[in-house]
Amino acid sequence: MTIADIKQQIDGPSAANAAAVVRKAREELNQRRLALVEEAADLTKQLAEAEGADRPNVKAATNIRALREAIHADCQAVQEAACEMNLLLLSIEGEPQPASSVKPEWSIKEAN
């Protein structure tokens, strides 16, 4: 689902429904990012094996590096999309408010 699709889905619904759609999309992006990180870690292990062998396989190492760089680029794109979902969620719900347990008169400033 693209960001444009998500924005189209939230144009009509209530703020609560729109926020739920955005949260779901953000969670899917986070899951995708985690999968990409795992894939990159696996490729890093493969690269270490290819380079650490008695006879390093330069061709395989080059291919693995290229794949790993592509995965890192995908991971960055997914991270940017998740950040955009965060901004969209803030625009729907407004800025986060302090918890009800926080007293407005409390301060971290040193008393004189």
Quote the pTM value.
0.70
pLDDT in tens, 38-94: 999 999 999 999 998 889 899 999 999 999 999 999 999 999 999 999 988 888 887
Q: Which residues contact 20 (CB under 8 A, 6 or more apart)?
A: none
**pLDDT tens digits, 10-21:** 666 677 788 888
Say which residues have a Cβ less than 8 Å from residue 40's Cβ, sequence separation at least 6: 68, 71, 72, 75
| Residue 39 lies in domain | 15-93
Does residue 71 lie within any of the structural domains? yes
Residue 42 lies in a domain: yes
Q: What percent of the chain has pLDDT over 90?
A: 50
The reply to whether 103 falls in a domain is no
- The tally of domains found in the chain comes to 1
| CA pair distance 44, 61, nearest whole angstrom | 10
pLDDT single digits (tens) 32-48:
999 999 999 999 999 99
Looking at residue 1, its pLDDT comes to 66
The answer to whether residue 46 sits within a structural domain is yes
Q: Is residue 65 part of a domain?
A: yes
Q: What is the pLDDT of residue 16?
A: 74
Q: Kindly state whether residue 49 falls inside one of the protein's structural domains.
A: yes
Question: Would 8 be classed as within a structural domain?
Answer: no
